Amino acid sequence: MLEITTIYNALSNTERKEFESFLASRNRRSDVKNLRFLKLLAAGRTKEISTRLYGKPSTAAFHALCKRIYDALIDFVASKSFAEETQGELEVLKLLLASRLFLEQKLYKTAFKTLSKAEEKGLLLDNYSILNEIYLTQIQHAHLNTKWVLADIIRKYESNQLKAQVDVRLGMAYAEIKATLGKTNTNSVQELVNSAFERYQVKVSKDLNFKSLQQLFEITATTAKLQQDFYSVGPFMQSLFAMVKQKGPVKEKHRFNYLNILYFMAVTAFRNKRFRESEGYLADMQENLSLGKKSYHDVFSEKMLELTALNQLYQGGLDRAVHLLKEATRPKLNRLLLLSMCFFLQEDFANGYKVMTSFQHSDGWYLKKAGWIWVLKKNLIEILLLMELDKPDMVIQRLDRFFRNFRKPLLELGEQRVLVFMDLAQEIYEHPKKATTPIFMDKVERSFTWLGRDREDIFVMTFYAWLKAKMENKALYEVVLDLVNIEDQ
C-alpha cells in the first residue's frame, strides 16, 4: 500500500488520468474496485481503505487488489518511459536495420542514403552505442561507396568510442561523488569533483554533454544544501553555467536538462540572497517551458512557484508570497511548510500552526518523502509556533523529542549552532524578560560564529531573526528583511 501511494503521488495530474484510462482499458468487469481505490487515494482517504471498499478491514481481496494495482503501476510507468525515451532510438535503429537489408539486396544507393540519415539522427541523440554500429557498418562497406573516405569514417568511429568511454567514466565518477557525499562532510565541492574526475580521467569542460553537466549541477547543489553553504559553491556553479552557455542555442532534446540546470542556478542565486538574479533564471525557465513538452510543466511548475514565493518573501512581498502559496491547488509538502513559515513571519501563529496540523504522518514517513533537512525545518518551525502560542506541555514534549532525534546527526554534521539556538529559544520561552537584558544579548553574541551577511545561509539568518526580534522588541519580518537584504547595500 505504501509503495502504491509513493509511486502514485509521484505522478503528475496528467499521468494520473492516463493511468486511470490504462486501468479502465484492462477492466473486463464493471464491478472492479481499482478505479474507486484510485479516487480514494487521490483524495487522501487512505485510512481504513479496505473497509470502504469491501466492508471489512484487511481482506484477502484487498491485498490481491493492491498487488494488481501495484503491478499495473509498474507496467504503466515502464511503458510510458519506454515510449517517451526510446522513440528516437527506435527510429535510428530502424534506419540502421533497413540500410543493412538494402546492402544485402545490393541496393547500395538506397542503403548509403539510409545509413547517412541514421548517422544524422544518431548524432542528435548522443547515442554512442547506436553510432558505433552505424560507423562499423560504414567501415565494412566503404569500398562500395566512392564518395566515402575510409580514414574519415575510422576517425569518426574512434572519436565516438572516446566519447562513449568518457560517458562510462563520468557515470562511475558521478556514482563515487554521490557515495562520498553520503558518508563525509565534504569541505569543498570542487575539490571532491576534481578528485573524482582526475581518478576517472574526465575533464570538466564544455565538451561534456548536457546530461553530464546537469549531474554536476545536481552534485554541487546537493552538497551545498547539506552543508547550508551555497556561498562557497557559487563560483563553481557560475563556471559550469558559462560552459552551458558556450554550447549555444538549446536543442529540444536537451531542454529538460537545461531546465534543471536553470533551476539549480535559480536556487543558488536565491540562497546567496541575489533575488533579482534568481528571478532572472526563473524567467528563463518559464520561457523554455513554453517551448518544451507539456509534461515539463508538471515537473517544474511547483518548484518554480515555491522559489518565486521565496524571492517575493525576502524582498518585502510577504503578502504576495502567501497569496501565491495559498492559491495553488493540490497541497505539496514543501509548499505547506513554506506557507507555515510565511504565517510565522507574519506573526499569524494560529494559522501557521493550523498548517502544521496537516502534517499527520510520523517524522520517519516524512524523512523518506521529503528528506532530513525538511524534517528538521518542520520541527524547528513547529516548536517556535507552539512557543508563540504558549502551549507549555506541547513545547516541552516537542523539545524533548527534538533533542533526542536531532542532537547526534547535527553534531555529526558540525551544526551545533542549531542545538545552541534551540537552547536559547527555550530560555527565552521560559524566561521572556531575559531576552532584552544585556547579559542575554551578550550570551547570544558569544554563542554563534557569524560568517557575515553575504556568506551566512539565508534560512539560518531567518531563524536567528526570531531571537534578534525578541532581543530588540521589533517585528519579526522587519528584522528578517534587515538581516538578509544585501542587494541594495
Q: What is the model's pLDDT at position 169? A: 87
Q: Tell me the C-alpha distance between 200 and 93, whole Å.
A: 31
The stretches of 255-391 forming alpha helices (DSSP H) are: 255-271, 275-291, 295-313, 318-327, 333-345, 349-356, 363-370, 372-388
The predicted-structure confidence for 5-35, as pLDDT tens digits, reads as follows 777 777 777 788 888 888 888 887 766 778 8
User: What residues contact 325, with CB distance under 8 A and at least 6 apart?
Assistant: 305, 306, 309, 335, 338, 339, 342
Report residues of the chain scoring pLDDT below 70: 1-2, 30-31, 44, 46-47, 57-58, 81-86, 181-190, 329-331, 486-489
d(CA 384, CA 390): 10
pLDDT of residue 48: 72
Give the predicted TM-score (pTM) of the model: 0.74
Inter-residue contact 136 to 158 (CB < 8 Å): no
pLDDT tens track for 166-202: 888 888 888 887 777 655 555 566 677 778 888 888 8
pLDDT given at position 84: 58
Neighbours of 411 (CB within 10 A): 12
